[in-house]
Amino acid sequence: MTPNFSVLHVAACPFPASRGTPVRILRLAEAIHSLGHRVEVVTYHLGDSEQGLPFPVHRIAPIAFYNKMNPGPTYAKLLVVDFMLMLKVFDLARQNRYDVIHAHHYEGLLAALPAHFLLNIPVVFDSHTLLQTELPYYKLFLPDWFKRKVGELFDRIFPVFADHIICVSDQQHLVYSSYLGTNSSRFSMVPNGVEVEHFAAGRAEPVPAGQLTLGYAGNLASFQGIDLMLDATSRLVDEFPNLMLNIYTNDAPDAYQSWLSLPALAGKVHFFPSDFMTLPHQLAQADLLLSPRPKGDGYPIKLMNYMAASKPIVCFSAASHDLVHGESGWLVENITPEEYAQAIRHLLLNPGLREEIGRNARELVEQEFSWERRARQVDQIYQKQVKT
């Protein structure tokens, strides 16, 4: 019989939230709780309603000047919010003596280290992405080369303090192995999962005859490749006059006004607020879905959602992960708007191929990407760490 553990998940972000990194934390915590473990989450003072969660959520004290819900570091977050989270983690760990601390991303790892060293509690580091690739996308009033070097320094130094490292992609595993050695017992691969049945229930609304719809769901951070997606769309509107691009996001598109003001995109790009309940129906409206992130070692939640929605995906090979070109997705090798537009064009002209790719993508997530499967992988990691 599998022993039950008490686990503290450290979520250095608004929690719960409807998209991105918090979704991984929320779904893993729920699925691990369903295995019989005692799960608690410690997080910021920000987040959506937590009514109905099967586990307690502990929050730091409210901070009047900090209400940032979008991803990414700020100096206020690093110097004040994360420090308060560290104190909260230590206080909870001192009182409850958890069997394992599951630290999400680097802020979670740093917040967990005092409890790890002073209270001897095993820490599992869930690395959602590498800092050397993520950090340059955030301003911080520093040059990109410096942010990249700082990120690389963090990637080299801090994971070694964790008892175990969870990677979400092969790229992460390769980088950490080059820094920390290839000891397989130190690493596990646990990609994201998806709410398979939830996204299968999406229903498309009627659209005007001849309309073709591209869809994008997620935040509008610069690393997502939004500029590239808008550029590619602008190259297609002459050939496809009934083409529309629907963007499902809760972010303001202020940074992209120069693109949106182009005559070619006038009336072609529409923004819709989105949440977990409405997203399946929104994705169902699209003829194909776009993931324009040029590269990345993290595993975008949107890829899972797109596949579960039985939709064909156009993405770049460097950020395609488990997709196979022509079978479960349509992959673009060179990171240019011209080639991205050509890939979209090919699928728009081939409805039978779109249907086949979407069907294959759905079969892939059904077989491999449930959160229950991910929780059982994490459960095996916990067992090994508690035994030591």
In this predicted structure, what is the pLDDT of residue 1? 43
In this predicted structure, what is the pLDDT of residue 71? 67
The two structure tokens encoding residue 107: 């802020």
- Give the per-residue SS3 of 118-175: HHCCCEEEEECCCHHHHHHHCCCCCCHHHHHHHHHHHHHHHHHHCCEEEECCHHHHHH
Closest CA to 44 of 72, 75, 84: 84
| Domain ranges (residues) in the chain | 6-193+370-387, 196-368
Collect all residues with Cβ–Cβ distance below 8 Å to 183 and sequence separation of at least 6.
none
How far is the first Cα of the chain from the last one, in angstroms, to the nearest whole number?
A: 18
Q: Which CATH architecture has domain 6-193+370-387?
A: 3-Layer(aba) Sandwich (3.40)
What's the rounded Cα separation, in Å, for the pair 79 and 73?
A: 10
What's the rounded Cα separation, in Å, for the pair 77 and 74?
A: 5
Length of the chain equals 388
pTM for the whole structure: 0.81
Full pLDDT tens readout for the chain, 388 residues: 456 899 999 998 888 865 445 788 999 999 999 999 999 999 998 877 666 899 999 999 988 888 776 667 788 888 899 999 999 999 999 999 899 999 999 999 999 999 999 999 999 999 988 999 888 888 888 999 999 999 999 999 999 999 999 998 888 988 999 998 877 788 999 988 888 889 988 888 887 888 999 999 998 988 899 999 999 999 999 999 999 999 999 999 999 999 999 999 999 999 999 988 899 999 999 999 999 999 877 788 899 999 999 999 999 998 888 899 999 999 999 999 999 999 999 999 999 999 999 999 999 999 888 899 999 999 999 999 986 5
The two structure tokens encoding residue 310: 């039985």
Tell me whether domains 6-193+370-387 and 196-368 share a fold.
yes
Contact 219, 249 (CB under 8 A): yes
CATH superfamily of 196-368: Glycogen Phosphorylase B; (3.40.50.2000)
What's the rounded Cα separation, in Å, for the pair 136 and 294?
A: 14
